[in-house]
Amino acid sequence: MSEPTPPAAKPPLSRERAQQARRRVLRTILLTGGVMGAALSGFLPLVYAQKKRLRPPGALDEKDFLSSCIKCGQCVQVCPVQAIKLADLVDGVGVGTPYIDAREQACDFSCDAVQCILACPTGSLVYKKPAFLGVRKGAKLAAAPILKAKEKDPEPTLNLSERIGVARLTRPEACLAIQGKGFKGQVRGASFKGRMRYMEVNRWKPIAVSEHPYDLAECDLCVRECPVKGAISIETVFAPDGSKRKSPVVHEPCVGCGVCEMICPVEPTCIVIEAREVWNT
Amino acid sequence: MNQYLKRRFFEQIAVMFGREPKKPEAISERAQEIHVLKRATNKERLQAAIVAHQDRKSVHTWRNRRWAVLIAANLLFTFSFWFDIQILEGALTASRFVGFHLIDLNSALQVMLAHKHIIVNLVIGTVTVFVLWLLLGGRSFCSWVCPYHLLAELAENIHLYLVRKKLVTDQNIDRRLRSLSWIVFAILAAATGYTVFEAISPTGILSRALIYGPALALLWVLALLVFEVFFSRRAWCRYACPIGLTYGVVGIFSPVRIKYKLDSCFHEGDCRKVCLVPHVLDTVIKGRAVDTEIPIGPDCTRCGLCVDTCPTGSLTFDVKGLSKLL
């Protein structure tokens, strides 16, 4: 061999060497601590798993969703109205996981076939849950939802077995329908970016909501634009004082898509989606 | 593979998991001869040759090719979404190449451990990517695709500049940490049912930021880069990233690797200076090569920096079997 062989026994480390070794251990601990500390912050969404955020259609229950989502955003890419966004660090629902902010852009099922579920590579979004995952009571839809847009098609239903939330009239006092008022003009104003598919305009191309002004003698936007058949209707109800009045009423087929929340012209909205809420009879 | 190379093959796997490379216990006869011959070589002539090579213009052939591939791959993701050309949809964690599933091995592993339920698409994507990187060289994922690698290379240049100015020194860290972090994140995923590594993976964060727009999570990536610039050279890739280890394991049997030729080597050590994982190049140290031709171990990212740097062409890309075939 080319080099002189080193002595067989290890000489004791010099003081400098020992110090170097000690420092290296400290640095290793430092980096471990840094990475693990950052990782711990990653657990926050699990702690806050109760924080309600609307997930895309077909999402598993929150804990299972967080464990299976691979954070690739393929659901984001296929959505024709780009209703799905990816969560950031500060959103507290898991970095890179998808969610829907219905007021900004609801899922209007203009893809006709819940494409996001089809796109999901890990089964975080599913048409039907695998057998080993339980279905929360009231989460299951009584029947496959009928898409109003597809009502005349041979197959009018949407392949969706569970709801992602339920719409609820949270501010009835401000609701135009209850007050018997109409609505004229652009819902949400000219600057609103939200888009929707209007069958009478173009079945295959969603347009900006602002490009589709309304002129309604009596506001029924949440009912008119709800993509699911029989999910919401204007009913005549009795007010506490005994007088008759009209009010939007949510029914069992509601899947929680959020179109009513997006389209409500009142600020802030009168009707919201309670994310992950189940149907209570 | 002779017994010397076989022993080295297994040792290199241990080195990948964090063991320090050791002086080989046995060296083939032919290699010993060359080692002896090299001692007898005229020192001045050797020195003159080294100086001549140091004066030449720096070569960046493989680095430029690699950067082009890395940028193209990441932009293909971005453009597939932006311009809806739908060639490569998704992000680096999981995607579809013209409809065919591709899933990052480490992400897939995390999801499998956390969710404990594996659907067909996940298997298809994982197997595809496994075969792909088995053929293309395992950790070549790191240097040829991972967007963090590119940023870290730029940060590394700043770091090396500061080192030359004597403003910082590279603080090395125990390489076993990477194996530890692999185990810890695997256990965390399985125990908590949450893929926590995905929340801090700079690869995933960067890939998503490139496709879906910037996010605050980039601050964590920035923190890592700052750490690497001022404190420890290439710390994340060298000492922490479990993705690298996962692909390293895939690359154990990969036919694509860097090959070292002993007889032409000057042992001046330039390759070890540019290498992200210099422990795989321990064999270029004088007297350490166990044979005349040595494949570099699985922790090598096949980045080609050593190939560009080597003044004598002793390090080259090699495809096992192919060179024999040709």
Rg for chain B (alpha carbons), in Å? 21
Most confident of A28-42, A69-83, B37-51, B80-94: A69-83
Region A48-76: mean pLDDT is 88
Tell me which of B208 and A45 has the higher pLDDT: B208
Q: Is A231 exposed, middle or buried (0-12, 13-18, 19+ CB in 10 A)?
A: buried
Helix (H) or strand (E) holding B203: helix B202-212
Indicate the DSSP class of residue B93: T
CA–CA min distance A150, chain B (Å): 25
Tokens of B119: 């659907």
Which of these, A176, A206, A208, lies nearest to A192 by C-alpha position? A208
Residues 158-177 of B with CB under 8 A from A: 171-174, 177
Which of these, B213, B237, B234, lies nearest to B91 by C-alpha position? B213
* A195: pLDDT strictly greater than 80: yes
CA–CA min distance A15, chain B (Å): 18
Q: How far apart are CA B195 and CA A103, in angstroms?
A: 29
* A4: pLDDT strictly greater than 60: no
Buried b (16+ CB within 10 A) or exposed e, A123-134: bbbbbebeeeee
Residue A2 confidence class, pLDDT cut points 50, 70, 90: very low
What DSSP letter does each residue of B224-272 carry, written as one string?
HHHHHHHTSTTHIIIII-HHHHHHHHHGGG-SEEEEEESTT-----HHH
The per-residue pLDDT for B40 is: 77
CB spacing of B89 vs A119 below 8 angstroms: yes
| Contact call for residues B17 and B176 (beta carbons, < 8 A) | yes
* A96: pLDDT strictly greater than 80: yes
Tokens of B123: 């298997």
Buried b (16+ CB within 10 A) or exposed e, A93-120: bbbbbbbbbbbebbbbbbbbbbbbbbbb
* A48: pLDDT strictly greater than 70: no
Region A249-274: mean pLDDT is 95
Per residue in A136-145, pLDDT (tens digit) is 999 999 999 9
Angle between helices B147-164 and B61-82 (to 10 degrees): 140
Tokens of B139: 């950790």
Strand partners, B97: B88, B100
> Between the CA of residue B240 and those of B15, B115, B139, B263, B265, what are the distances in Å?
15, 24, 14, 35, 32
pTM of the model: 0.89
CB-based contact, B115 to chain A, within 8 Å: yes
The per-residue pLDDT for A269 is: 95
CB-based contact, B188 to chain A, within 8 Å: yes
Q: How far apart are CA B10 and CA B19, in angstroms?
A: 12
User: Which of B78, B84, B100, B196 would you mutate first to test chain A, the one with the most A CBs within 10 A?
Assistant: B196
- Regarding beta strands A98-100 and A84-86, do their DSSP bridges make them parallel or antiparallel, or are they unpaired? antiparallel
Q: Is A245 exposed, middle or buried (0-12, 13-18, 19+ CB in 10 A)?
A: middle
ipTM of the complex: 0.88
Q: What is the mean pLDDT of chain A?
A: 89
pLDDT along chain B (326 residues), means of 10: 90 94 90 86 71 75 96 94 88 92 94 91 94 94 96 96 94 93 94 90 95 92 95 94 96 94 87 94 92 94 93 90 73
Residues 261-280 of B with CB under 8 A from A: none
Residue A23 confidence class, pLDDT cut points 50, 70, 90: confident
CA–CA min distance A4, chain B (Å): 10
- How many other CB atoms are found less than 10 A from the CB of residue A33? 10
Angle between helices B218-230 and B202-212 (to 10 degrees): 130
Q: How far apart are CA A93 and CA A109, in angstroms?
A: 24
CB spacing of A121 vs B94 below 8 angstroms: yes
List, in sequence order, every beta strand (DSSP E) within chain A: 84-86, 98-100, 165-169, 183-185, 195-196, 207-208, 214-216, 232-238, 244-250, 271-275
| Contact call for residues B193 and B114 (beta carbons, < 8 A) | yes
| Contact call for residues A213 and A87 (beta carbons, < 8 A) | no
Rg for chain A (alpha carbons), in Å? 27
- How many other CB atoms are found less than 10 A from the CB of residue B1? 10
The per-residue pLDDT for B189 is: 93
Q: Tell me if residue A127 falls in helix, strand or coil.
A: coil
